Structure 1
Amino acid sequence: MSHTIHITNTQRHLKWDNSLPPIATVPSGTTLTFSLLDGGHNQITATSTTSSLSTFDFNLADPAHGPIHISSAQPGDVLKIEILTLKTATFGWTAIFPNFGLLSDEFPTPYLNIWDLETHREDGYTVFKPGIHVPIRPFLGIVGVARAEKGEWSTIPPYETGGNIDCKYVTAGSVLYLPVQVEGALFSCGDGHAAQGDGEVCGTAIETQMEVTLRLTVEKGKMGDWVKSPHYLTSGNQNHERESKVTAAGKGEYAAVGIDADLREASRKAVRGLIGWLMGEKGLQREEAYVLCSVAADLKIVEAVDMPHFAVACSLPLSVFVGPPYV
């Protein structure tokens, strides 16, 4: 029998804790709709300015909505999460916070960009600046189940049970598989993003409130021996129509490669290099370049075997540049 229930944005928590009482108990195969706060707990509004960041409370960051108890889930099972629909709010935001982000020591000054997610929603993009369009590709930053270990665990980092995985590929049409470690799984989700580059280098994506539809199914005796961490499956044609409106074929991407014996430092060098290119070749301000890297560029480990050095590329699709003075 198919079941559908709705979870409101008041039903949330700020720590993973397997002793939390579930807000609902559902059978395997249930479809749920969620009304989600954004990853900043709705502290940023459509009219916020950079000065608003001075009162931002990080203790409220990354709320997870749930937990949901799936009645047949037991440790050793796999929870299959089908991402059915994702709808952003009419606006989103990206911020540079002092002491936060991959280049935090180089960007000490707060910065806030408010994105219009409604005007060009049907065309599949949002305007960063006239001449720069960022594809809207909604996904959930937080998708997870409770950990076996007792106690409270922050919702900010990712774990083997999911959590704040910030994986932009788990979008509508995708399926996420998580290992169940406690009875009932205790599933929660949150932290909606309208777009993000791999790495989320300035520390924030396009953060937005979101309406979400998911289906939760317990799989027993299937894949349990190897799903020890999040696994995902993407649809070959997901977002194809939308992306075809945004991405011009053959434009390619521009990437800066950082090389260092330390993986994090190689990543920092790559981001720094792309920021330099965006400033020098495209005329962006330094903060604008950092934000664009965070929402549209990808960090890729392109070399990890020729020790003692790592090579990390920070790549930006050139299709984001759609008009003068950028093309």
Structure 2
Amino acid sequence: MKRVGIEKLYHVISAANEPSAVVGQGEEFVVETEAGRGEQCIVLEGAKPGQVLAAEIIEVAPETEGYTAHGPGAKSFPDWIRYNGWGQLRRDVQIRGGRIKWPGGLVFPALPMVGMIGTAPEPPEAPSTGMQGIFGGNMDCPLVAAGARVFLPVAVDGAYLHIGDVHAVQGDGEICGAGGIECRAEVRLKLRSLERPAGFSWPRIEHDASISTVGVGGSMDTAYRIAVEALLRWIQAESGWSEQDVFLLLGSVLIARVCEVVNPFVTFAATFPKLLLEGMRRNPPPGAA
């Protein structure tokens, strides 16, 4: 199996980057990731602009040491923290046996996830790997974990997937700015390019039991609305239900979570159960053609 080391890492998402590796369609491979900084750049043979990249996350394996931290410049709760004079904060932890051991002995489950996964936009655009948008990027979405299939737009030949910034666990919002728990890790995955599905706009995440969309905006309400509308379009295309009926159903069953609030932009994820989607296909609403 191909293994990609951390000797060559990048800080911008760009098709001008020399690839860390070139992989074939459906080829399983492993990337090593650095703690909190620098991303791999992977080219997928045969990926063409206008398609979507499907990244299947098979395993996320953190190393045994990690940390969480907060600096005075972090965006979340700046006045509250600044006025209390906290300064720089850091805690180092152990990661073993699927658990986080906090200093002093507190133990809680590790839930490893990939914080940064995105495809290169059309040149000359080359955003920082710390940014997120329609291309994916630093979404810090805990749903990007083992078992996830992440769908991202392809804007350039080869897609130029950038991936890294694994967290051994992360709370919703990533409020302290580093982590949850930043750590080195190994991510096992495979990539395919697919024709762009109807209604595709923002990044999508699929698990065996759910579908989710990610929205990014300058405020929580903007990011939330983008994520929900993208989810509505996906459900509408898959179910055949009208926009109005999907909207009314989401009012009863929508699941949404804030992913991160510490970058210049906010990330939200909106989720819908697959069991209901299967039921919608079998049961069109009254008045449907």
Q: TM-score normalised by the shorter chain: which range applies?
A: 0.5 to 0.7
CA distance in 1, matches of 2:51, 2:220: 34
1:214 counterpart residue number? 189
What displacement does 1:28 show? 1.2
| Residues paired across the two proteins, number | 214
* Cα distance, 1:157 vs structure 2: 1.4
Alignment correspondent of 2:94: 116
Deviations 1:90-126 (A, max 9, x none): 11100010121411232241111111112xx2xx322
Structure 1 residues 180 and 98: CA distance shift in structure 2, 3 A: same
Find the residue that maps to 1:106 and give its secondary structure: helix
1:97 maps to 2:71? yes
Of the three residues 25, 29, 33, the one matched with 1:32 is 29
**How many Å apart are 1:169 and its aligned residue?**
1.2
Do 1:177 and 1:227's aligned partners in 2 also have CA atoms closer than 8 Å? no
Tell me, in whole angstroms, the C-alpha distance in 1 between the residues paired with 2:187 and 2:132: 20
More strand by percentage? 2
CA distance in 1, matches of 2:257, 2:23: 39
Contact 1:19 1:150 in 2 (8 A): no
CA-atom RMSD, angstroms? 2.6
Secondary structure class of the residue paired with 2:17: coil
Task: State the Cα distance separating 1:228 from its structure 2 match.
Answer: 2.1
Q: How far 1:130 sits from its partner (Å)?
A: 5.4
Q: How far, CA to CA, are the matches of 2:35 and 2:159 in structure 1?
A: 23
What is the identity, as a one-letter code, of the residue corresponding to 1:190?
Answer: G
Identity of aligned residues (%): 28
Contact 2:20-2:40 at 8 Å conserved across structures:
no
Alpha-carbon shift at residue 127 of structure 1 (Å): 3.0
Shift of 1:64: 1.1
SS at match of 1:73: coil
- d(CA) in 2 for partners of 1:231, 1:112: 33
Determine the structure 2 residue equivalent to 1:199. Answer: 173
- State the Cα deviation string for residues 119-168 of structure 1 (Å, max 9, x = none): xx2xx322336574332000110111101141432111112111111010
Following superposition, the deviation at residue 236 of structure 1 comes to 4.0
Quick one: distance in 2 between partners of 1:29 and 1:181? 20
Residue among 85, 88, 92 paired with 2:62: 88
- Relative to the length of structure 2, the TM-score reads 0.68
Per the TM alignment, residue 17 of structure 1 is displaced from its structure 2 partner at its CA by 1.7
- For 1:6 and 1:131, how far apart are their aligned partners in 2? 35
- What's the TM-score, normalizing by structure 1? 0.60
Deviation per residue, 1:182-235 (Å, 9 max, x gap): 111011200010000111011121000001101111112x51x33322100123
Q: Which of 5, 8, 16 is the aligned partner of 2:5?
A: 8
Name 2:100's counterpart in structure 1. 126
User: Does the Cα contact within 8 Å between 1:178 and 1:227 map onto a contact in 2?
Assistant: no
Aligned-partner Cα distance in 2 for 1:128–1:26: 38
Instruction: Tell me if the contact between 1:99 and 1:105 (Cα under 8 Å) persists in the aligned partners.
Output: no
For the structure 1 residues 167 and 300, does the alpha-carbon distance in structure 2 shift closer, same or farther, using more than 3 Å as the test? closer
**Secondary structure of 1:15's partner?**
coil
Query: C-alpha distance in 1, partners of 2:126/2:103?
Result: 42
Q: In the alignment, is the contact (CA less than 8 A) between 2:118 and 2:137 conserved in 1?
A: yes
DSSP-derived class of the 2:79 partner = helix
Amino acid at match of 2:59: T
- Secondary structure at the counterpart of residue 227 of structure 1: coil
How many angstroms apart in 2 are the aligned matches of 1:17 and 1:106? 37
Map of 1:63 onto structure 2: 38
Cα-to-partner distance string for 1:213-268 (whole Å, 9 max, x where unaligned)? 01111112x51x3332210012349xxxxxxxxxxxxxxxxxxxxxxxx858xxxx
Could you tell me which runs of 5 or more consecutive residues in structure 2 were left unpaired when the two chains were aligned: 211-218, 222-255, 259-289
Which secondary structure state, in structure 2, belongs to the residue aligned with residue 195 of structure 1? coil
Equivalent-residue separation in structure 2 for 1:34 and 1:25 (angstroms): 12
Looking at structure 2, the residues matched to 36 and 163 of structure 1 have their Cα atoms a distance apart, in angstroms, of 15
Name the counterpart of 1:179.
153
What secondary structure does 1:173 align onto? coil
CA distance in 2, matches of 1:139, 1:263: 22
1: CA distance between counterparts of 2:92 and 2:104?
14
In structure 2, the residue matched to 1:17 is 14
State the AA in 1 paired with 2:206: L
Q: Identify if the C-alpha distance between structure 1 residues 300 and 28 changes in structure 2 by more than 3 Å, giving closer, same or farther.
A: closer
